Structure 1
Amino acid sequence: MTQELAALAETGAAAVVAAMATDLWQNTRGAVLRLFHRDETHDRRAAIATQLDRNAALVDEATAPDDVRRTLLGLWTLELTALLERSPSCRQDLASLAAEVGAALPQERRTVLFAQTNDARDSGTIIAVQHGDLHA
């Protein structure tokens, strides 16, 4: 998978979990199910719908919903990455969903994406990390 598709999967996942337990949830849920409708069997689509509902309930019931959203981000990044690998034609719809949710969220709820570019030249070595620890 290209870095572009991986970033799109993460952006889409961030939009999905940010919309959970908000007024945007039902429209976002429907858009996610439409994405999976193209590529999945009926049983898999039902499982995705159940997963979305359970995850949204976890966020809604949590005393620290942002902590739950952060945890769910990895799960939905994996789900959307797998979807994009199977069905790259979902790219534009996922990008549109992420943009629509991002624009509809209040400013303080919008997800910030960090980008990092590291270039090594002339036999250079790069040791870099973003959002974590590096033990060398």
Structure 2
Amino acid sequence: MLEEQIVTLAASGGAAVVAAMATDAWQTTRDGVVRLFRRQGAEVEGRLDEDAALVATAADAESADAARQALAPGWALKLRTLLAAHPEYAEELRALLPAEGGAPHSVQYNTARDQGRVFGVQNGSIVIHQGQQEA
């Protein structure tokens, strides 16, 4: 694997790791990263959990995004070092990236109150035809 490809993949991986923090995708992403590093004998669970806690305890979305931006280069560097030593891990890392072959992850929260109705859909479309109701 070329150095340029390693740098690009590591940067994407670092961004994906921190983007998943404090989301429903976190546990899957965390497990994948741990598995990658554990294969070479490195322990990263504590660091992952500390970084995820920084994001999760942010006061608001803007603070969480700032934390993610600050953490991404560190994870990119760790992944770059790992891939430089073990380029065969590249496909496993790519599988963690939603944009590069991993399953895209979506979260949707719907709430209906006071006799309201919710029509939700992801990755598709919905058509509602509502006629007059007979009493």
TM-score (norm 2): 0.70
Cα deviation digits, residues 18-66 of structure 1 (max 9, x gap): 00000111111000001111112xxx31xx1000000000000112100
In structure 1, what is the Cα distance between the partners aligned to 2:32 and 2:45?
11
Q: Is the 8 A contact 1:39 1:86 kept in 2?
A: no
In structure 2, what is the Cα distance between the partners aligned to 1:49 and 1:105?
25
In structure 1, what is the Cα distance between the partners aligned to 2:56 and 2:18?
11
The alignment status of 1:35 with 2:36, answered yes or no, reads yes
Number of residue equivalences: 100
In structure 2, what is the Cα distance between the partners aligned to 1:82 and 1:55?
19
Correspondences of 1:6-45 after superposition (within 5 Å): 6-40=7-41, 44-45=42-43
Identity of aligned residues (%): 40
- Unaligned 5+ runs, structure 2: 108-135
Aligned to 1:117: none
**The structure with more helix, counted as a fraction of residues:** 1
The letter of the residue matching 2:8 is A
- Following TM superposition, the consecutive aligned residue runs of length 4 or more in structure 1 with deviations greater than 6 angstroms are none
Larger radius of gyration: 2
Q: Is the 8 A contact 1:16 1:28 kept in 2?
A: yes
TM-score (norm 1): 0.69
* Residue 98 of structure 1, CA deviation: 1.0
* Residue 2 of structure 1, CA deviation: 1.3
